[in-house]
Amino acid sequence: MRRLAVLSLHTSPLAQPGTGDGGGMNVYVRELTAALARSGVSCDVFTRAWSPDLAPVVEVEPGLRVHHVPAGPLSVLPKEALPGVVDAFTQGVLERMASPGSSAWGNDDDPFTSVHANYWLSGLSGHVIKHELNLPLVCTFHTLDRVKAESMPEEVEADMPHRRAEAEATIIGCSDAVLASCTVEAEQIASLYGADPLRIRMVPLGVDHAFFGPGHRPQARRALGLPLDGRLLLFVGRIQPLKCADAAIETLADLQATGGEPYRLVVVGGPSGPHGEKSLQGLFDLADAHGVRDHVHFIDPQPHELLSSYYRAADVTIVPSRSESFGLVALEAAACGTPVVASAVGGLTTLVDQGRTGFLIDDPTPERYAAAVRRIFDEPLMAERLSTASVLRARRYTWRAAASALVDLHDELASRQLVECT
């Protein structure tokens, strides 16, 4: 029986996405491991314990459990402090992997067959565990330091400078497979890190179509207590400079300046990273400066499945990020039939089909975003076509398909010689 050790050091799949360090990676780990468990792969997810109140092990569903591994203080740590607890986390994971405990689904005596590390911090642990236990290592990076350096150098300077890029290169050099969510990310891994293209595997993310699907916009607005009149723009994501929620507010201001029916913006997300609180206050100040504060609804992070109501309530979802390895928000919005206006970066360029499911903005100015949004608002027939095409395109992406691709990959790795460190 296959048994997978999944490492997610800095954020738990049980944590609320949209705040702190929780985001698309939380969704990825939770949904992918659940899909793997349902396909017969036992998954043990190891994450750092951030509170003394956490159970050591949480049985999520048959075949999937989450281990809270003490490493450093039992409190939330800023991401920049986490490299200091990697060694303790690694040792804790090794001890858990070697010490069977009670389990409702009785696979504790089955040996682990692979390690899957998420993000570079987990990759550091995975690198050690690979050599300690002689197991194949699969890595998903979610974001890459050298990609961030190209799009937002000031964030790299605040995010553990110098060490991260070198660590990523080392991890990639020793990984038996590196997962990319799209062709753009695969090309970045190969070109910026010199990765062997034969070890880069494309495994797109999925969407849970049981929750994320088209619906009745007025009813969604009623359920959320949002005004029924006017046009509604939606931003979903952590409040940090990289996600550019300020561009959504400036787009709203540009739309308001043209008059006509009222425009509103809903911002769903919480502060994240060392500049999160400052970024949130900056959004309040920006909305005040543009005179649109009464037209912006700031909503705390929501349980993942409830986000679908916000997508269905919106006329357009705006994704103005400066960097996105995939762009899960764009995919979820599309699955709900909401056209997307996004920056032409990273995985967004593979998710948004220009002019068919939404619009990509090469020159990310508020005027350009507003022009694309206004075009959707002003042409109802186009908006309907975009909505229908978005739903059809999103159906290609499922967690079941992602899990199936990984099952095949792990079977292949089990019969191959492990990659040696370069």
DSSP structure string for 346-362: TTHHHHS-BTTTEEEES
Angle at 299 between CA 10 and CA 289, to 5 degrees: 110
Please list the pLDDT of the chain residue by residue as tens digits (422 residues): 689 999 999 889 988 765 566 678 889 999 999 999 999 999 999 999 999 999 999 999 999 999 999 999 999 898 889 999 999 999 999 999 997 653 444 455 689 999 999 999 999 999 999 999 999 999 999 999 998 877 665 555 554 545 899 999 999 999 999 999 999 999 999 999 999 999 999 999 999 999 999 999 999 999 999 999 999 999 999 998 989 999 999 999 999 988 777 999 999 999 887 778 888 999 999 999 999 999 999 999 998 889 999 999 999 999 999 999 899 999 999 999 999 999 999 999 999 999 999 999 998 899 999 999 999 999 999 999 999 999 999 999 999 999 999 999 999 999 999 999 86
Listed in sequence order, the residues at least 6 apart from 363 whose beta carbon sits closer than 8 Å to its beta carbon are none
Burial environment of residue 373 by CB neighbours within 10 A (0 to 12, 13 to 18, 19 or more): buried
Tokens at 209, concatenated: 């179509």
Sheet holding 296-299, edge to edge: 296-299, 263-268, 231-236, 316-319, 340-343, 358-361
The residues facing 140 across adjacent strands are 118, 179
The pTM for the full model equals: 0.91
What is the number of residues in the chain?
Answer: 422
Tokens at 108, concatenated: 């504790």
DSSP 8-state class, residue 394: H
What topology does CATH give the domain 3-206+398-414?
Rossmann fold (3.40.50)
What's the pLDDT at 103?
43
Rounded Cα distance between 113 and 413, Å, is 9
Domain 3-206+398-414 and domain 217-394, same fold? Reply is: yes
What topology does CATH give the domain 217-394?
Rossmann fold (3.40.50)
Burial 163-188 (b: 16+ CB within 10 A, else e): ebbebbbbbbbbbbbbbbbbebbbeb
Rounded Cα distance between 81 and 78, Å, is 6
What's the pLDDT at 104?
40
DSSP 8-state class, residue 421: P
**Structural domain boundaries of the chain?**
3-206+398-414, 217-394
